[in-house]
Amino acid sequence: MTTKTSKIIYTETDEAPALATHSLLPIIQAFANASDVAVETRDISLAGRVIANFPEYLKEEQRIADALAELGELAKSPEANIIKLPNISASVPQLQAVIAELQAQDYALPDYPENASTDEEAKVKATYDKIKGSAVNPVLREGNSDRRAPGSVKQYARTNPHSMGAWASDSKSHVAAMTEGDFFGSEQSVTVEKATDTRIEHVAQNGSITVLKTSQPLLDGEVIDASKMSVAALRTFLEAQMVEAKEQGVLFSLHLKATMMKVSDPIIFGHVVTVYYKDVFEKHAAVFAELGVDVNNGIGDVYAKIANLPAEQKAQIEADIMAVYDTRPALAMVDSDKGITNLHVPSDVIVDASMPACIRSSGQMWNAEGQLQDTKATIPDRCYAGVFQTTIEFCKENGAFDPTTMGSVPNVGLMAQKAEEYGSHDKTFEIAEAGTVRVVDSNGNTLLEHSVEKGDIWRMCQAKDLPIQDWVKLAVNRARASQTPAIFWLNEERAHDREIIKKVNAYLPQHDTTGLDIQIMSPVEATKFSLDRIKQGLDTISVTGNVLRDYNTDLFPILELGTSAKMLSIVPLMNGGGLFETGAGGSAPKHVQQFEKENHLRWDSLGEFLALAASFEHLSVTTDNAKAKVLGQTLDLATAKFLQENKSPSRRVNELDNRGSHFYLTLFWAQELAAQNDDTALKAKFATPAKLLTENEAKIVAELNDAQGVSVDVKGYFKADATLVSKAMRPSNTLNEIISNI
């Protein structure tokens, strides 16, 4: 019996997952409605967030509510049941592109003021900066992260292994990280016993104080840390690496997280651009200053800003850029056909996915000729770079992993309430003047202090006590439920980790850990330990902080399953609700490009299927809805069958794509509902749809596949015309009619 309203919120996001939603959501709603479950949508797309934040610029009828803010509040309540698809974490060039697209659609939005000079511009910039980077996930993540490959998915990978590039023992690929002057080298950390307020201030050499942040309240038992990246050390390191890459004849590649680390990493990216293209930046300094070139947006910004210069001057600068490639190491390419390099824009190479993709391809990246080549993968800060270097060393020694036999590394990640580095952007500063930066509490005690030089990047991070307690509990529960060893990836050599280790040691005894294997190891040791086991077919839970949660949940799934899109990604919210993320990956723009070119969408919605089943299961408990339980169980069975029968989207046009994969899920789900005996009303309701779907399989698949092979124009990239997208994504009338009659 249903005692409470059963409601699921399905998020509308961007790019491929947003296109897929036009096909999948009507199916989900039809099945859910039949079971007293309401599935509502909320628009948290990049375009939607931009529109929602500038009502005063827009016509009445264009304004929309701030759905992200609403969901952020909902995530703190026990009723929350949110399915969150991947969304764009926008770099500045992407932000500029969405604004331009919306302006062309008659939204009178202000431009993004790169150099705000008036109060109004400063206000506009501050609003856009809130939308920039990873602005969605941190708001919704009021819980820690539980990501793993379900048994059926792992089984699928074993029987349908993805291709893995062979590894040569003499591969020259390696990770380059700093040995001094980085965040790792300067980290300080304390745990505050009692709640207090803090402020962050800069003291210049002449003693004058500038407050960088007036208030940063801390709770009882909160862990804080601060560290700095020396810009001089960074630039020296980069120059040396570029010289070495050239000597070694390997590509130079850079791997950062400019989206989540939206303040620090674009600055680091900018330094790499100006060191690599230093001849150009020295020669054209005056012109670039006049044009307002922002190196943090990549060399792409130079191309954009010089576009309107007189032809001759523009050609000269372009020639000077090309001349750099003769003296510098070859760059890893993002798109060799279009000449887009690793240094064009900071959002094109995102470390969590880019490093595993490189390791999956024999440790190589694409060169300008479109061929794979060994690379110097530059990850400036040392904190986590060792994980990738250790994996590379393991592959050189043991060869590529074998997906048919390898074990698994699920993750339990500390994430709640903007934990650690991923919550640091409002406490990250590019230092204006040499001096010291300090964190001072409300009693005037200095908690953390660093001497800094002009241009250094200083940051403070927080990890709250209750989320840490919840994380330890989640780790023990996962270890118990799966009878798998759990390793806390914490490094005694880091000040922050030492504080966390104290807490782990204090909270573990509060749980029954008898018979469980729970250990603490540094990330490098933990990587070795887990890889040795993975090779033997054994599983090991990685219990990590927020950054390694992100890295490990792409690294291991990409090696084990070929993609992180096949992960189950659950966030048990601390106040009792559930957030079900779909997969662990993003929304690759190339999927949309292929869709527009030939009406084939290769996006795999498996992550959505898994999230939905977990969401129904959660709902059945929180709202005592037995039908939701049946929906979840049958969906799980249907997903297992979907995998067994290999109905995932193909990458090639005129073969089964995202839409065809949705058809098969619908077919199997309806068949499971018609076959089960737990709920006779549902059984009866799905008898006819199951029969019709079965009988019309060939016809529907033909309708779906025949629609492909032509270009599609949906009148927008960030905000496409919903009617046109729906039409394109639902080309089978036979299927549409069966669904509308459920």
Ligand X SMILES: O=C(O)CCC(=O)C(=O)O
Ligand Y SMILES: NC(=O)C1=CN([C@@H]2O[C@H](COP(=O)(O)OP(=O)(O)OC[C@H]3O[C@@H](n4cnc5c(N)ncnc54)[C@H](OP(=O)(O)O)[C@@H]3O)[C@@H](O)[C@H]2O)C=CC1
Binding-site residues for NADP(+) sit at: 84-89, 137, 586-587, 591, 602-604, 651
Distance between CA atoms of residues 664 and 605, nearest Å = 12
Among 13, 53, 81, 89, binds ligand X (CB under 6 A): 89
Q: Rounded to the nearest whole angstrom, what is the least distance from the CB of residue 583 to ligand X in the complex?
A: 9
Among 23, 53, 89, 264, binds ligand Y (CB under 6 A): 89
Size of the site for ligand X (CB under 6 A): 9
Distance between CA atoms of residues 482 and 546, nearest Å = 22
Q: Rounded to the nearest whole angstrom, what is the least distance from the CB of residue 94 to ligand X in the complex?
A: 12
Among 221, 545, 572, 586, binds ligand Y (CB under 6 A): 586
Instruction: Say if residues 365 and 332 touch (Cβ distance below 8 Å).
Output: yes
Among 187, 222, 348, 352, binds Mg ion (CB under 5 A): 352
Question: Residue 492, by phi and psi: left (phi above 0), alpha (psi -120 to 50) or beta?
Answer: alpha
Closer residue to ligand X, CB minimum distance, 259 or 264:
259
Distance between CA atoms of residues 183 and 206, nearest Å = 26
Q: Which residues contact 17 (CB under 8 A, 6 or more apart)?
A: 85, 86, 87, 582, 587, 603, 605, 608
Binding-site residues for Mg(2+): 352, 550, 554
Among 363, 585, 632, 660, binds ligand Y (CB under 6 A): 585
Closer residue to ligand X, CB minimum distance, 89 or 633:
89
Tell me which stretch binds Mg ion (CB under 5 A): 311-319, 333-341, 352-360, 686-694.
352-360
Among 8, 584, 704, 714, binds ligand X (CB under 6 A): 584
| 482 CB neighbour count, 10 Å cutoff | 15
Size of the site for ligand Y (CB under 6 A): 19
550 interacts with Mg ion by CB under 5 A:
yes
| Torsion from C-alpha of 473, 152, 615, 32, nearest 10 degrees | -170
Kindly write out the interface string for residues 722-741 of this chain, putting x where it contacts ligand Y by CB under 6 A and - elsewhere: --------------------
Instruction: Say if residues 669 and 640 touch (Cβ distance below 8 Å).
Output: no
Binding-site residues: 84-89, 134-141, 147, 352, 549-550, 554, 586-587, 591, 602-604, 651
Instruction: Say if residues 53 and 65 touch (Cβ distance below 8 Å).
Output: no
Closer residue to ligand X, CB minimum distance, 260 or 667:
260
Among 6, 23, 45, 87, binds ligand Y (CB under 6 A): 87
Could you say which residues in the range 335-354 bind ligand X, by CB under 6 A? 352
Could you say which residues in the range 606-625 bind ligand Y, by CB under 6 A? 607
Closer residue to Mg ion, CB minimum distance, 259 or 696:
259
Q: Rounded to the nearest whole angstrom, what is the least distance from the CB of residue 563 to ligand Y in the complex?
A: 5
Kindly write out the interface string for residues 260-279 of this chain, putting x where it contacts ligand X by CB under 6 A and - elsewhere: x-------------------
Tell me which stretch binds ligand Y (CB under 6 A): 402-410, 413-421, 433-441, 586-594.
586-594
Binding-site residues for substrate: 134-141
Distance between CA atoms of residues 7 and 19, nearest Å = 23
Among 350, 476, 619, 735, binds ligand Y (CB under 6 A): 350
CA-wise closest residue to 656 among 696, 700, 689: 700
Which of Mg ion, ligand X, ligand Y, none binds 425 (CB below 5-8 Å, type-dependent)?
none
Q: Rounded to the nearest whole angstrom, what is the least distance from the CB of residue 342 to ligand Y in the complex?
A: 13
Closer residue to ligand Y, CB minimum distance, 349 or 735:
349
Q: How many whole angstroms from its chain centre is CA 384?
A: 17
Q: Which two tokens stand for residue 116?
A: 């705000």
Q: Map tokens 């991947």 to a residue.
A: 86
Tell me which stretch binds Mg ion (CB under 5 A): 85-93, 261-269, 344-352, 482-490.
344-352
Which helix (DSSP H) or strand (DSSP E) does residue 385 occupy? helix 382-398
Could you say which residues in the range 199-218 bind ligand Y, by CB under 6 A? none
Burial 360-385 (b: 16+ CB within 10 A, else e): bebbbbbbeeeeebbbbbbbbbbbbb
Which of Mg ion, ligand X, ligand Y, none binds 604 (CB below 5-8 Å, type-dependent)?
ligand Y
Which of ligand Y, Mg ion, ligand X, none binds 260 (CB below 5-8 Å, type-dependent)?
ligand X
660 interacts with ligand Y by CB under 6 A:
no
Which of ligand Y, Mg ion, ligand X, none binds 588 (CB below 5-8 Å, type-dependent)?
ligand Y
Q: Which two tokens stand for residue 632?
A: 């979840």
Instruction: Say if residues 200 and 439 touch (Cβ distance below 8 Å).
Output: yes
Which of ligand Y, ligand X, Mg ion, none binds 563 (CB below 5-8 Å, type-dependent)?
ligand Y
The edge-to-edge listing of strands for the beta sheet with 435-441 is 209-213, 198-204, 435-441, 446-452
Could you say which residues in the range 249-268 bind ligand Y, by CB under 6 A? 259
Q: Which two tokens stand for residue 454?
A: 């002009």
Upper half-sphere CA count for residue 144 (Cβ side, 13 Å):
27
Q: Are strands 145-148 and 372-378 parallel, antiparallel or unpaired?
A: unpaired
HEC profile for 131-200? Answer: HCECCCHHHHCCECEEEECCHHHHHHHHHCCCCCCCCCCCCCCEEECCCCCCHHHHCEEEECCCCECEEE
Q: At residue 669, what are phi and psi to the nearest 5 degrees? A: -65, -45
Q: Rounded to the nearest whole angstrom, what is the least distance from the CB of residue 364 to ligand Y in the complex?
A: 15
Among 189, 227, 241, 587, binds ligand Y (CB under 6 A): 587
Instruction: Say if residues 564 and 558 touch (Cβ distance below 8 Å).
Output: yes
Could you say which residues in the range 137-156 bind ligand Y, by CB under 6 A? 137
550 interacts with ligand X by CB under 6 A:
yes
| 477 CB neighbour count, 10 Å cutoff | 15
Among 603, 668, 686, 718, binds ligand Y (CB under 6 A): 603
Question: Residue 311, by phi and psi: left (phi above 0), alpha (psi -120 to 50) or beta?
Answer: alpha
Among 18, 44, 102, 353, binds ligand Y (CB under 6 A): 353
Residue 119's Cβ-count burial label (10 Å; 0-12, 13-18, 19+) is exposed
Could you say which residues in the range 119-178 bind ligand X, by CB under 6 A? 134, 137
Question: Residue 576, by phi and psi: left (phi above 0), alpha (psi -120 to 50) or beta?
Answer: left
Bridge partners of residue 364, in order along the sequence:
374
Could you say which residues in the range 542-571 bind ligand Y, by CB under 6 A? 563, 565
Q: Rounded to the nearest whole angstrom, what is the least distance from the CB of residue 176 to ligand Y in the complex?
A: 20
Which of ligand X, Mg ion, ligand Y, none binds 143 (CB below 5-8 Å, type-dependent)?
none
Instruction: Say if residues 233 and 178 touch (Cβ distance below 8 Å).
Output: yes
Among 297, 367, 552, 553, binds ligand X (CB under 6 A): 553
Which of Mg ion, ligand Y, ligand X, none binds 633 (CB below 5-8 Å, type-dependent)?
none
Which helix (DSSP H) or strand (DSSP E) does residue 8 occupy? strand 6-12
Closer residue to ligand X, CB minimum distance, 14 or 43:
14
Instruction: Say if residues 556 and 501 touch (Cβ distance below 8 Å).
Output: no
Among 88, 468, 500, 682, binds ligand Y (CB under 6 A): 88
53 interacts with ligand X by CB under 6 A:
no
Residue nearest to ligand Y (CB): 586
Rg of the Cα atoms in the chain: 26
Angle in degrees, CA 274, 279, 281, rounded to 5:
50
Q: Rounded to the nearest whole angstrom, what is the least distance from the CB of residue 347 to ligand X in the complex?
A: 9
Tell me which stretch binds Mg ion (CB under 5 A): 379-387, 548-556, 572-580, 624-632.
548-556
Question: Residue 221, by phi and psi: left (phi above 0), alpha (psi -120 to 50) or beta?
Answer: left
Size of the site for Mg ion (CB under 5 A): 2
Using CB under 6 A, list all residues that contact ligand Y: 86-89, 137, 259, 350, 353, 563, 565, 583, 585-588, 602-604, 607
Using CB under 5 A, list all residues that contact Mg ion: 352, 550
Using CB under 6 A, list all residues that contact ligand X: 89, 134, 137, 259-260, 352, 550, 553, 584
